[in-house]
Amino acid sequence: MVNILKSLRLGIWVLVAVGASGCAGVEERLAASRMNDAAAQSCVAVFRGVDQAVAPVADAETVRIAGFPYLRINRLLASHANTARSGPAFNAWVGRMRALARTARSVELANLPTKTRHNIKSSVARLEECARLLQTHDLADDRGRQILRDTATVPDHYNTFARVAGLYPLTSVPIWLGYKHLRRSQQRDFKTGLGTGKAITFAPKLAAFDTTVVGDLMRQIKRDKLGLPVLSPGDRELILNAFAPVYRVGYKSRDDRIGLPVYTKTDALEVDVKDPVVFRRIAFTQIGNKTHLQLVYTAFFPARTSAGPLDLFAGNLDGLIWRVTLNKVGRPIIYDSIHPCGCYHLFFPARPQRLKPEIANAAFGEPPLAPTPGPVPASGQRIRLLLKPGTHYLAGVELTKEAGAAKTTPYRLVDENVLRSLPTSAGNRRSLYGPDGIVVQSARPERFLLWSMGVASAGAMRQWGGHATAFIGRRHFDDPFLFDKFLTQQ
């Protein structure tokens, strides 16, 4: 046993050393190329100073790239590292990473305490100037471009050290048995729905869905040199409004009302249920050799209600993320959902799509579950999601025309980016998420049970880009090839 522990310890230190040497190697190669350029060295110092200042309020939605402080990346763009070799495609790739970095840095600067922010000598304009200079300097030749392609990766959100220390091959077995029980429970939920108990319906106060308008919009959307759709602000507004769902939530307490996360006068995190809000964002996925548009809607509840003193899954803040993946004419290919913890991933392929049988019927692990086919709305219809009280488990996906009905509670759609910088009562700003992308106030007792699965603070709400969706194996909600792996046609 002692020898096993020594081997585990040695393996961990080797992994740490390899990771550290990799980052250092990139920094050294780039530093050598910048050695004789005083302007480039000055700009590196500017970024280093700003990065040190914003470290306590770092934004985790996108990932920094070692040696390239003016760029950030996500899983989608990382998947293009070897396809954007040169020319317009490479420029489009770098341009999108520059845009991610610009947004993240503006959020981080806004979230600094006022005094710290005022003490930073580098203006946003200076950072942009330095980003342009360093991009021109670093990527002027094939060597620099290859360094970027080699470095532009996104780590997964699983802690291998925790899995090794927690004897993952053994401890994953009871988790697998628990998942099988959960799967049967989810299938029962979709057979029974909400029943006849009290429920509240939340609906967008928007014009009815129109298939012709959506189809016309999708056909005229242009694509960049990476093949990614380029949407104007008006396009984004129209398409996100068109597919905004209706929520019918079983009601037992205040925990079953959707609302706006806010910081109180005591700096506590609460959900203002007097302001029903659903957060929206655009995403993309790859199916075959085509990039498809995704519409993502997130609703937050004050809490997951405790079922008793031993409820390991209850706690502050809960929610549901609903995602719609469209084909080139605006018809849904598949819907899927998770809770913001990354838990309870469900799939709803629209016919003729279906999950690959060999994956859905896998004997071990966490095979994807599709409780029912995804319905396709006609003009005047919307998707209605049925959520159970307390747990907010999804229990039904159906079509409805009641979005404008008198008995519905209207909600407003808001860009999800606002969660990265919320106002505080002290006049400052603060992200909903910590530097690790986790909402610390939403920590669940289950994390003490599930730590050996390698998912940090299991059960806690987390930021886009950080949703690990399986305890057995490795799977991410924003994996651009997720549906390419899982889907086939009947």
pLDDT tens track, the chain, 490 positions: 434 444 444 444 444 444 444 555 777 778 677 877 899 999 999 999 999 999 999 999 999 999 999 999 999 999 999 888 879 999 999 999 999 999 999 999 999 998 888 878 678 889 999 999 999 999 999 999 999 999 999 999 999 999 999 999 999 999 999 999 999 999 999 999 998 889 999 999 888 889 999 999 999 999 999 999 999 999 999 999 999 999 999 999 999 999 999 999 999 999 999 999 999 999 999 999 899 999 999 999 999 999 999 999 999 999 999 999 999 999 999 999 999 999 999 999 999 999 999 999 998 899 999 999 999 999 999 999 999 999 999 999 999 986 656 689 999 999 999 999 999 988 899 999 999 999 999 999 999 999 999 999 999 999 999 999 999 999 999 999 999 999 998 7
Nearest-10 crossing angle of helices 2-34, 38-54: 140
Residue 429 burial class via C-beta count within 10 angstroms: exposed 0-12, middle 13-18, buried 19 and up: buried
End-to-end, the C-alpha distance of the chain in Å comes to 51
| 8-state DSSP, 479 | -
Between CA 277 and CA 261 the distance in angstroms is 9
Q: What residue spans define the domains of the chain?
A: 2-151, 160-489
Q: Which of 163, 155, 154 is closest to 454 using CA atoms?
A: 163
Residue type, 403: A
CA 137, 94, 421: angle at the middle one, nearest 5? 110
User: Is 387:247 a contact under the CB 8 Å cutoff?
Assistant: yes
Between CA 236 and CA 239 the distance in angstroms is 5
CA 173, 178, 184: angle at the middle one, nearest 5? 130
Q: Which of 299, 308, 186 is closest to 249 using CA atoms?
A: 299
Q: Residue 302: phi, psi to the nearest 5?
A: -55, -35
Tell me the β-bridge partners of 199.
250
User: What SS3 state is found at 263?
Assistant: strand
User: Is 303:318 a contact under the CB 8 Å cutoff?
Assistant: yes
Residue type, 234: G
The tokens 């590196």 sit on which residue? 44
Q: Which of 436, 438, 435 is closest to 461 using CA atoms?
A: 438
User: Is 286:420 a contact under the CB 8 Å cutoff?
Assistant: no
Contacts of 119 (CB under 8 A, 6+ apart): 53
